[in-house]
C-alpha cells in the first residue's frame, strides 16, 4: 500500500490507507464496536465498502453448495457490516461495490434462480460484466452490485464498449511464450465474444485460485507453449497479474510463495473492469443519471433470517426496453442505491449534498420523517392540491408499507411483521443504548435495531 501511495499519491492519499488492518481480517468477527472505534459514526466522512464474498459455493466451477455453503455464506456478515454502517451513518450512508461470480449461469436452478434471487432481494440487481470486453487479457464474467449507478444504465453503457480487435493473448506473455489457437469461438452468456475458432487467442479463460485448473492444461484454451523449453505450461504469476490488469510484481513480497501469489491473483477483482466501472459510474453521476434519493428498509432472507440486513433500495424510471438482455430482470425491481456516493468521493461540500437532495424533488425524501407530505398522506390520506399525478402514484405505492398510529410511524416488512420507525433525533440514543446493552450489534442488529 505504501508503494501504491508513492506511485499514485493523488488517487490514493495517505488517509485512505490509515490503519488498514485495524478491523479483524475475518469478516465474521467484525462488530459495531470495531466500527465505532474507527470513527464509523462520523457524519462528515463517507465510507466505501469494496468487497467480494467467497464464490466457491456459487460458482459453476465449484461444488454447488450454494449460498448456504460454508464459504459463500460470508455474504450475510458482509451485508450486515454494510447495514451497520448505514445505521451509524444516516446522513452520509456508505457507498458499496460488491462482486461475485455469474451464478445465474449455473446449471443448478437452486443456485441460478433461488440463491441469485435471495441475493438480489437484499442488495439489488447487479450488472454482469466480462473483463475481456474492456480489453483485459483474460475473461472474467462477474456480477457487480453497486449504489454508485443504476445497473441497467451500466449494462446499456457497457454494451456500447467494444474490445480492440488488435489485442491478442500473447501481448501479456513473456518473451518466448505464446498461446495456442482457439479451439472454439466464445459465445454469450458465458463469455464476451472475442476468441474465434482456429485463430490466434485474444483472451485467456478465467484465472482461478487453484493452480491445476482444467482450462489451463491438456491443450485447453489456457495452455501456453514455451518456445525456449519447448514445453506446454500455463501463464506464470507475473503474466497472471498483467492479464488481470495489475502491474507486474504487484503480489510479490519476499515472504509470499508463487503458489500463494497464484491464489491471491485468482481471487482478486479484475483491475481493468474496475477501472471502466468506476469511470462509467463517475460519468453517470456527472451527467445526473445516478440515484439522488434512497429509502431504507429491512428485508428478511430465506437463509439465516436472523441476519436480516437494512438495505437501501431505489426505483428508477427505466430506459428503453430494446436494450434488455436475458440476464436483466424487470426494471421495476428494486436496485441497490444509497446515492450521493461520488459527490463525497470527489470531495464535494455539504452544500453540494444539500443541492442534490433539492434536485431530487421528483421522488420523496428517503427518510419518512424528512418528508412532511408523505407523513400527512399516511396520517390523513390527503395530497397537496398542486401535487403531480406521478408523485401521487409514487406516494401511494410507498405508503402500502407504512402506517401511522398515534404519534408513531410503523413499517410493514415483507413477512407481514411491523416495526416502528423512530424519528431521527431518537436514533442515536437507540444505537448507543443497544450497543451498551448488547456489547455489539454489527452482526445481528439490523434485525433488532433497524426494524
Q: pLDDT tens across 228-238, in order?
A: 999 999 999 99
Q: Measuring CA to CA, which residue among 263, 366, 250 is closest to residue 314?
A: 366
Architecture in CATH for domain 22-161+271-362+426-450 = 3-Layer(aba) Sandwich (3.40)
Share of the chain above pLDDT 70, in %: 77
Indicate whether 141 pLDDT > 80: yes
pLDDT for the residue numbered 102: 92
Most confident of 185-189, 228-232, 300-304, 325-329: 228-232
Average pLDDT on 169-185 reads 92
Indicate whether 314 pLDDT > 70: no
Spatial distance between the Cα atoms of 99 and 264, rounded to a whole number of angstroms = 16
Spatial distance between the Cα atoms of 165 and 282, rounded to a whole number of angstroms = 26
Average pLDDT on 17-31 reads 87
Average pLDDT on 331-354 reads 32
Q: Which of 72-86, 210-224, 310-324 has the lowest mean pLDDT?
A: 310-324
Query: pLDDT tens digits for 218-230?
Result: 888 889 999 999 9
pLDDT for the residue numbered 257: 93
pLDDT for the residue numbered 441: 42
pLDDT for the residue numbered 289: 65
Q: Which of 93-102, 128-137, 163-172, 419-428 has the lowest mean pLDDT?
A: 419-428
Average pLDDT of the chain is 76
Indicate whether 430 pLDDT > 90: no
pLDDT for the residue numbered 327: 25
Indicate whether 438 pLDDT > 60: no
Residue 260 and residue 266 in contact, taking contact as beta carbons nearer than 8 Å: no
Average pLDDT on 366-385 reads 82
**Which residues are registered as beta bridge partners of 313?**
295, 336
Q: Which of 40-44, 263-267, 317-321, 389-393 has the lowest mean pLDDT?
A: 317-321
Indicate whether 269 pLDDT > 80: yes
pTM above 0.75, yes or no: no
Quick one: pLDDT band at residue 432, thresholds 50, 70, 90?
low
**What are 330-335's contacts with CB under 8 Å, separation 24+?**
331/152, 333/120, 333/124, 333/125, 334/124, 334/125, 335/124, 335/125, 335/150, 335/151, 335/152
Please identify which residue in the block is written with the cell numbers 392540491: 385
Q: Which of 183-187, 320-324, 418-422, 428-432 has the lowest mean pLDDT?
A: 320-324
Provide the edge-to-edge strand list for the sheet that holds 408-412. Answer: 402-405, 408-412, 418-421
Pick the more confident residue, 301 or 412: 412
Q: Which cell numbers in the block locate residue 399?
A: 405508503
Share of the chain above pLDDT 90, in %: 29
Average pLDDT on 7-21 reads 81
Indicate whether 325 pLDDT > 80: no
Using only C-alpha atoms, what is the Rg of the chain?
24
pLDDT for the residue numbered 429: 72
Spatial distance between the Cα atoms of 328 and 321, rounded to a whole number of angstroms = 10
Indicate whether 436 pLDDT > 60: no
Query: pLDDT tens digits for 270-291?
Result: 999 999 999 998 888 887 665 4
Q: Which of 113-122, 229-238, 307-316 has the lowest mean pLDDT?
A: 307-316
Quick one: pLDDT band at residue 416, thresholds 50, 70, 90?
low
Indicate whether 136 pLDDT > 70: yes
Amino acid at each position: 500500500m505504501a508503494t501504491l501511495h508513492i506511485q499514485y499519491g493523488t488517487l490514493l492519499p495517505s488517509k485512505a490507507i490509515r490503519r488498514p488492518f485495524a478491523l479483524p481480517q475475518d469478516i465474521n468477527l467484525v462488530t459495531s464496536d470495531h466500527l465505532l472505534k474507527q470513527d464509523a459514526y462520523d457524519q462528515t466522512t463517507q465510507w466505501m465498502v469494496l468487497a467480494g464474498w467467497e464464490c466457491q459455493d456459487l460458482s459453476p466451477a465449484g461444488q454447488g453448495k450454494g449460498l448456504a455453503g460454508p464459504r459463500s455464506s460470508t455474504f450475510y456478515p458482509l451485508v450486515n457490516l454494510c447495514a451497520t454502517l448505514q445505521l451509524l451513518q444516516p446522513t452520509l450512508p456508505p457507498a458499496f461495490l460488491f462482486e461475485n461470480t455469474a451464478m445465474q449461469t449455473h446449471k443448478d436452478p437452486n443456485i441460478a434462480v433461488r440463491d441469485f434471487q435471495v441475493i438480489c432481494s437484499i442488495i439489488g440487481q447487479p450488472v454482469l460484466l466480462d473483463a475481456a470486453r474492456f480489453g483485459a487479457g483474460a475473461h472474467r464474467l462477474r456480477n457487480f452490485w453497486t449504489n454508485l449507478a443504476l445497473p441497467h444504465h451500466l449494462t446499456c453503457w457497457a454494451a456500447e464498449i467494444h474490445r480492440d480487435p488488435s489485442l491478442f493473448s500473447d501481448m501479456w506473455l513473456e518473451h518466448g511464450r505464446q498461446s495456442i489457437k482457439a479451439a472454439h469461438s466464445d459465445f454469450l452468456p458465458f463469455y464476451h465474444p472475442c476468441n474465434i475458432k482456429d485463430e490466434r487467442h485474444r483472451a485467456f479463460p478465467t484465472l482461478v485460485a487453484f493452480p491445476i485448473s482444467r482450462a489451463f492444461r491438456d491443450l485447453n484454451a489456457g495452455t501456453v507453449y514455451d518456445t525456449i523449453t519447448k514445453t506446454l505450461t500455463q501463464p506464470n504469476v507475473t503474466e497472471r497479474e498483467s492479464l488481470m490488469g495489475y502491474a507486474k510484481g504487484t503480489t510479490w513480497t519476499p515472504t509470499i510463495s508463487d503458489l500463494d501469489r497464484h491464489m491471491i491473483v485468482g481471487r482478486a477483482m479484475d483491475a481493468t473492469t474496475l477501472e471502466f466501472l468506476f469511470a462509467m459510474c463517475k460519468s453517470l453521476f456527472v451527467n445526473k443519471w445516478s440515484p439522488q434519493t434512497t429509502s431504507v428498509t429491512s428485508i428478511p432472507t430465506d437463509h439465516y433470517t436472523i441476519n436480516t440486513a437494512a438495505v437501501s433500495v431505489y426505483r428508477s424510471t427505466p430506459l428503453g426496453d430494446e436494450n434488455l438482455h436475458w440476464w436483466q430482470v424487470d426494471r421495476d425491481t428494486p436496485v441497490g442505491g444509497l446515492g450521493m456516493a461520488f459527490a463525497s468521493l470527489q470531495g464535494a461540500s455539504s452544500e453540494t449534498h444539500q443541492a442534490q437532495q433539492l434536485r431530487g424533488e421528483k421522488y420523496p425524501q428517503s427518510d419518512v420523517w424528512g418528508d412532511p407530505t408523505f407523513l400527512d398522506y399516511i396520517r390523513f390520506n390527503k395530497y397537496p392540491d398542486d401535487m403531480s399525478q406521478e408523485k401521487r402514484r409514487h406516494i401511494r405505492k410507498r405508503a402500502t408499507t407504512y402506517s401511522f398510529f398515534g404519534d408513531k410511524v410503523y413499517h410493514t416488512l415483507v413477512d407481514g411483521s411491523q416495526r416502528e420507525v423512530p424519528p431521527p433525533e431518537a436514533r442515536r440514543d437507540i444505537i448507543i443504548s443497544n450497543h451498551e446493552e448488547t456489547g455489539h450489534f454489527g452482526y445481528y442488529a439490523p434485525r433488532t435495531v433497524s426494524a
